[in-house]
């Protein structure tokens, strides 16, 4: 007999673990995988009701960054990287642009 998939909700969007999804949370990248990628979070579509879902306690992961921030600073290269490189990219994406900017070389 197949098991029923349980509905889970989290305290905040930051508490959602990597690879999972919660309604009305912006998509984010994590070191292992991405999170909050779903129809409810990407488009303005009606989401299933989460009133009867179970609350799950979870720690906030330090290896996460919002999609908009990462794409603004380092676009289109995420899917070609391994896990260690993803962690380094998340650390770099948290830094301000003035720290990441390389001054032009004078010939």
Q: Write out the two tokens for 2.
A: 């197949």
Residue 1 has pLDDT above 60, yes or no: no
- What does the domain layout of the chain look like in residue ranges? 8-100
Read off the pTM. Answer: 0.57
Contact call for residues 55 and 10 (beta carbons, < 8 A): yes
* C-alpha distances out from residue 20 to 16, 24, 73, 106, Å: 6, 13, 24, 48
Q: pLDDT tens-digit profile of 13-53? A: 888 888 888 888 888 888 777 888 777 777 766 777 777 78
- Measure the CA–CA gap between 25 and 16, rounded to whole angstroms: 9
- Measure the CA–CA gap between 33 and 74, rounded to whole angstroms: 17
């Amino acid at each position: 007999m197949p098991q029923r998939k349980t509905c889970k909700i989290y305290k905040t969007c930051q508490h959602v673990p990597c690879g999972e999804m919660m309604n009305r949370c912006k998509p984010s990248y994590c070191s292992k995988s991405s999170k909050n990628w779903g129809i409810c979070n990407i488009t303005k579509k009606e989401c299933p009701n989460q009133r009867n879902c179970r609350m799950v306690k979870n720690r906030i992961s330090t290896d996460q960054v919002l999609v908009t921030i990462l794409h603004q600073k380092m676009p289109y290269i995420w899917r070609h990287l391994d896990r260690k490189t993803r962690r380094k990219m998340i650390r770099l994406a948290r830094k301000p642009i003035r720290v990441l900017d390389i001054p032009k070389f004078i010939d």
